[in-house]
């Protein structure tokens, strides 16, 4: 295979498109590429065409790309990859409809609280574009080591405060922006899931990015999530997006049990007025939403300066023994475990989802 062809294939693999290539030929400087579109929709084919032309012009400027985008007459289901993670008993996804509600802070403190309860815990930072766990656990600059498992080289998660951690932040510089397209982000996420040696875990906590997009679909495709926790603040604009987050997991095609809703930044109590509560973002919004849509309300977390400070210095607030903050996170975590026990006693194991279109508009159970 020529050097130009090797480099072209490497670009396609980096974009996560290698399985869609029908033909790749190099004649002189001409690169003839026949590739199948993920979707028959015209706008999706245009997106694919634009992405390929831009990437090849940037990374292989000496090549002349001659592109032919094909649409198969009958859509072929994607490969099912959603097997269990060896050794992992329960997978909890922490999600939010919008950014800025403290989802990652809640994820880190739930993981710590589970560990303090005596469970073995891992934490997967699935927020590809905004990873924060290396900072929150004071392991910036660390990288997973390689270990041999049954003759295969695998990543050993970084450990901090007894939590096994993996994050794309371990592989990118602190100031480096991650500007991958959807297939590339999904491929990186799959590598962190499948190429990691998690060992025996009672819980794997997955900190999802905000919203309901590609990464969420990739996660439910790759692993059977035991249950999801939704984090929201009390104001209406956040609650509207939280409702969408619940709806996504409850879709018939996805069908991941929602363990409950956590209300973050519920109120503020000044140190000089310990008996006062100021509901800056509204009162009982997430609690009322949980009751309205019939999912458990897991508890409320006040707006406390020490929680933010603890995250910034890399020592989650739940580690502050004998404090009201640690007690609050512990109660919420106990409620999550109780909700999960009820879910495991009444529902069959969650199956991974097979996503069959680029946009995830149709899906089927494994």
Tokens 């590809």 label which residue? 128
Stretch (H or E) spanning 265: none
Q: In 150-294, which ranges are E strands?
A: 152-156, 158-160, 163-167, 201-207, 227-232, 258-263
- Please say whether the beta carbons of 353 and 254 come within 8 A: yes
Residue 99 marked ligand-binding: yes
What count of Cα atoms within 13 Å lies in the side-chain half-sphere of residue 35? 28
Strand, helix or coil for residue 211: coil
103 has binding-site annotation: yes
Question: Among candidates 23, 50, 27, which has minimal Cα distance to 35?
Answer: 23
285 assigned binding-site residue = no
Say if residue 104 carries a ligand binding annotation.
yes
Phi-psi region of 180 (alpha: psi -120 to 50; beta: other; left: phi over 0): beta
Task: Please give the annotated binding residues for ATP, written as ranges.
Answer: 97-104
Residues in the annotated binding site: 97-104
């Amino acid at each position: 295979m020529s050097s130009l062809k090797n480099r072209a294939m490497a670009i396609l693999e980096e974009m996560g498109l290698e399985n869609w290539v029908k033909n790749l030929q190099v004649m002189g400087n001409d690169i003839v590429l026949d590739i199948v579109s993920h979707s028959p929709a015209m706008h999706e084919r245009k997106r694919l065409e634009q992405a390929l032309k831009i990437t090849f012009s940037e990374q292989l400027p000496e090549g002349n790309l001659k592109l032919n985008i094909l649409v198969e007459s009958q859509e072929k289901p994607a490969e099912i990859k959603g097997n269990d993670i060896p050794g992992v008993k329960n997978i909890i996804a922490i999600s939010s409809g919008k950014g800025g509600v403290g989802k990652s802070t809640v994820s880190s403190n739930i993981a710590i609280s589970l560990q303090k309860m005596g469970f073995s815990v891992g934490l997967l930072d699935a927020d590809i574009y905004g990873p924060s766990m290396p900072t929150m656990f004071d392991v910036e600059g660390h990288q997973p080591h390689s270990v041999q498992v049954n003759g295969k080289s695998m990543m050993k998660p970084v450990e901090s405060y007894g939590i096994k951690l993996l994050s794309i932040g371990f592989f990118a510089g602190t100031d480096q922006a991650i500007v991958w397209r959807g297939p590339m982000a999904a491929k990186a996420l799959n590598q962190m899931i499948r190429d990691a040696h998690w060992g025996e875990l009672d819980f794997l906590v997955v900190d999802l990015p905000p919203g309901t997009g590609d990464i969420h679909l990739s996660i439910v495709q790759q692993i059977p999530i035991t249950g999801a926790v939704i984090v929201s603040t009390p104001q209406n604009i956040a609650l509207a997006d939280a409702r969408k987050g619940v709806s996504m997991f409850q879709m018939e095609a996805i069908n991941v049990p929602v363990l409950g809703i956590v209300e973050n930044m519920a109120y503020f109590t000044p140190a000089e007025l310990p008996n006062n509560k100021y509901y800056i973002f509204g009162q009982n919004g997430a609690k009322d939403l949980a009751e309205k849509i019939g999912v458990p309300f897991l508890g409320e977390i006040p707006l406390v300066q020490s929680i933010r400070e603890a995250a910034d210095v890399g020592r989650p607030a739940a580690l502050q023994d004998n404090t009201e903050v640690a007690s609050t996170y512990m109660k919420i975590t106990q409620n999550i475990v109780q909700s999960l026990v009820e879910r495991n006693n009444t529902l069959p194991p969650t199956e991974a989802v097979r996503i069959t279109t680029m946009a995830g508009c149709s899906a089927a159970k494994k």
